[in-house]
Amino acid sequence: MTATTTVLIVLDLVGTFAFALNGGMTAIRVAHVDIVGVVTLGAITAVGGGILRDVLLGALPPATFVDWRYLTVAAVGGLLAFAFSRGLDRFSNPIEVLDAAGLSLFAVTGAGRALELGAGPMQAIILGAVTGVGGGTLRDVLVRQVPSVLSSGVYAIPALVGAALAVAAATTGVDEVLGAPAAVGAAAACFTIRMVGLRYGLHAPRPPGTDRSDGARA
Amino acid sequence: MTATTTVLIVLDLVGTFAFALNGGMTAIRVAHVDIVGVVTLGAITAVGGGILRDVLLGALPPATFVDWRYLTVAAVGGLLAFAFSRGLDRFSNPIEVLDAAGLSLFAVTGAGRALELGAGPMQAIILGAVTGVGGGTLRDVLVRQVPSVLSSGVYAIPALVGAALAVAAATTGVDEVLGAPAAVGAAAACFTIRMVGLRYGLHAPRPPGTDRSDGARA
Amino acid sequence: MTATTTVLIVLDLVGTFAFALNGGMTAIRVAHVDIVGVVTLGAITAVGGGILRDVLLGALPPATFVDWRYLTVAAVGGLLAFAFSRGLDRFSNPIEVLDAAGLSLFAVTGAGRALELGAGPMQAIILGAVTGVGGGTLRDVLVRQVPSVLSSGVYAIPALVGAALAVAAATTGVDEVLGAPAAVGAAAACFTIRMVGLRYGLHAPRPPGTDRSDGARA
């Protein structure tokens, strides 16, 4: 295993951890769940996007389900969310940063995996975004929220941009099989857009005639 | 490609477009979604049923996800729903007709695809219905509606009838591999039942003791 | 087919029937569904967990979908729930017993199938639990309940224990390919924990600071 691959896997696991922590905390906030629910929802948030991607690629069993490291990191993240549910409320800012990092990494690595498995460019971009937003969407459905990706702020757009940049780098030959530099650049672009969106409270356009001044979650 | 195949693909794409338009409009009506949400929900409504069918058949990656024409038509339908969200309200009648056409076509082509891939008759009928109603069901789950197929009017029954007729034609030898005439006949039966149900406000029976006079959506 | 296999299949079908009955009745109680909804939700409760397991294993088409006996038993269970919706309310106790039996059998047979198809021990335990709780979770999502496995009583834990015992028996050589005696023992342990939990109204721990005295369903 090359140093580059190691770096990417470490970043992927950091994203998994951030999503698990975030998923567990969201579960505690919006639903009346017990320890099983917190850990399950944390894990689903962390590995759900990769599972959806692999189902759509027909690459079964899904990598994030088979590799014990993803499941272990996801379970630990969920357990920490449970154990420190009160204390973690103070850390919403770092959690959002980690979530944006996870979104960026998953969008890029998801697009790369789709290309490796033979998907076309359009499909690879969509699958990168699905990898990034899928886990949180499953979590929201299970706790009866309208998935935030559909309604709140700038979330899917940076994922699509990151995935598109990764695909462009790989298909234009800038990068052989989407190596580390192009991947990091694409993830950084996604991350930046997401953080700017958060900082300035940006929203994607709403349908004409339905704009309201209230924010985010319906 | 024969003329028959071309006709079927065109009809399939018309169904995809109708479902995408319908899905995007439904999203705008019942949830607080932005442009990403409208297009995503339109596309999921349009291609979700075919994806569920192909997952259950193990025919991955799913045809409606891999073929760029489905995704493109679905995205265009969703964008039109977004752009003309106010104007389209006037067209609820044509939209319902297109939706019934999509349901009919998907039920029949879904059953045919299931047979081609080796499913038994009972499975092919179920998969035809799943192809027809699956996308709308995914949409309803994402926007927190009880799926209308479970609770409102006559929707699953015409899909089951259309799929059953298509399977009967194919398995009794009326039709070699479910060619155009049998497919069109089965779709027409489904379409007719659906439109009669809409016109006269018919409902499938409710459990004894739970009948209420109020209509449709809970 | 050996006598042992026959016994296991019979028990599996009993579990399927119990889940279908339970799923149909739950649908009638919590949502405004018609006959299509009751039968569909009964069938999804009965075969949904096995389908999720087989998707995650890449064993497609899913066994519970392809084998007509599962679909038939599931449909009959759903139809009975519809036909006797009033009368069955008196039988909530036997229904809970049957549901616990289904949970136990599915957790153990699901883990065994996962091992047979090459899953690792951790994955097999998770997939056993998914087989047991997956169908009910899909049903709850469709009728807009927070899935009870996430929030109410002792439900996932006995499934995990049963699956873990089955995996331990198979991997430590107590049992060659998870034969009947070990399977029955593991199922009995799951069943006992579930019934004790029901009898004494036990709950899994909730996050610190969020405990409330109200019970079960949010």
| Set of chain C residues whose Cβ sits within 8 Å of the Cβ of A66 | 119-120, 123
- Closest residue of C to A43, CA-based? C126
Count CB-CB contacts under 10 A for residue C35: 19
* Residue B216 pLDDT level (bands cut at 50, 70, 90): very low
Report which of B62, B49, B61, B40 is spatially closest to residue B16, judged by C-alpha positions: B49
B199 touches chain A (CB under 8 A): no
- Residue of higher predicted confidence among B167 and C96: B167
The dihedrals phi and psi of A129, each to the nearest 5 degrees, come to: -65, -40
Count CB-CB contacts under 10 A for residue C171: 14
pLDDT tens-digit profile, chain A (218 residues): 455 566 667 778 888 998 998 888 888 888 778 888 899 999 999 999 999 999 999 998 998 888 889 999 999 999 998 888 776 666 667 667 878 888 998 999 899 889 888 888 999 999 999 999 999 899 989 988 888 788 767 888 999 999 999 998 888 766 555 456 778 889 999 999 999 988 887 777 777 766 544 444 33
Rounded (5°) CA angle C192-C197-C202: 160
- Residue of higher predicted confidence among B199 and A89: B199
Report which of B210, B113, B216, B112 is spatially closest to residue B170, judged by C-alpha positions: B112
* pLDDT tens readout for residues C95-151: 678 788 889 989 998 998 898 888 889 999 999 999 999 998 999 899 888 887 887
Interface test with B, best of C29, C30, C34 (most B CBs within 10 A): C34
* pLDDT tens readout for residues B71-130: 999 999 999 988 887 766 666 676 678 788 889 989 998 998 898 888 889 999 999 999
Kindly determine whether residue A207 and residue B68, on different chains, have CB atoms separated by under 8 Å.
no
Helices B35-57 and B68-83: angle between axes, nearest 10 degrees: 150
Q: What percent of chain B has pLDDT over 70?
A: 83
Kindly determine whether residue A207 and residue B41, on different chains, have CB atoms separated by under 8 Å.
no
Chain B nearest C-alpha distance from C31 (Å): 8
* pLDDT tens readout for residues C19-78: 998 888 888 888 778 888 899 999 999 999 999 999 999 998 998 888 889 999 999 999
| Set of chain C residues whose Cβ sits within 8 Å of the Cβ of A62 | 56
State yes or no: pLDDT of C217 exceeds 80. Answer: no
Count CB-CB contacts under 10 A for residue B124: 28
Q: Which of C55, C86, C144 is the closest to B55 by Cβ?
A: C55
| Set of chain B residues whose Cβ sits within 8 Å of the Cβ of A157 | 36
| Mean of pLDDT values over B54-60 | 91
Mean pLDDT of chain C: 82
Show which subunits contact A, needing at least 3 CB pairs below 8 angstroms.
B, C
State yes or no: pLDDT of B192 exceeds 90. Answer: yes
Chain B nearest C-alpha distance from C50 (Å): 12
Kindly determine whether residue A205 and residue B85, on different chains, have CB atoms separated by under 8 Å.
no
Q: What is the pLDDT of residue B209?
A: 66
CB A105 within 8 Å of CB A187: yes
Mean pLDDT of chain B: 82
Q: What is the pLDDT of residue A209?
A: 66
CB C144 within 8 Å of CB C33: no
- Residue of higher predicted confidence among C203 and A135: A135
| Set of chain B residues whose Cβ sits within 8 Å of the Cβ of C141 | 141
Q: What is the pLDDT of residue B218?
A: 36
Cα dihedral value C47, C50, C52, C53, nearest 10: 180
| Mean of pLDDT values over B50-69 | 90
| Set of chain C residues whose Cβ sits within 8 Å of the Cβ of A41 | 150
| Mean of pLDDT values over C77-93 | 78
State yes or no: pLDDT of B173 exceeds 80. Answer: no
State yes or no: pLDDT of B39 exceeds 50. Answer: yes
State yes or no: pLDDT of C156 exceeds 50. Answer: yes
Q: What is the pLDDT of residue C76?
A: 94
| Mean of pLDDT values over B36-45 | 91
Chain C nearest C-alpha distance from B120 (Å): 8
Residue with tokens 């569909």: C40
CA distance A137 to B17: 25
Kindly determine whether residue A61 and residue C218, on different chains, have CB atoms separated by under 8 Å.
no
CB A138 within 8 Å of CB A132: no
Q: What is the pLDDT of residue B88?
A: 64
- Closest residue of B to C51, CA-based? B56
Q: What is the pLDDT of residue A216?
A: 40
| Mean of pLDDT values over B56-67 | 89
Q: What is the pLDDT of residue C73?
A: 93
State yes or no: pLDDT of C79 exceeds 80. Answer: yes
Three-class HEC string of chain A: CCHHHHHHHHHHHHHHHHHHHHHHHHHHHHCCCCHHHHHHHHHHHHHHHHHHHHHHHCCCCCHHHHCHHHHHHHHHHHHHHHHCCCHHHHHHHHHHHHHHHHHHHHHHHHHHHHHHCCCCHHHHHHHHHHHHHHHHHHHHHHCCCCCHHHHCCCCHHHHHHHHHHHHHHHHCCCCCCCCHHHHHHHHHHHHHHHHHHHHCCCCCCCCCCCCCCCCCCC
| Set of chain A residues whose Cβ sits within 8 Å of the Cβ of C119 | 61, 66
Give the ipTM of the model, two decimals please.
0.83
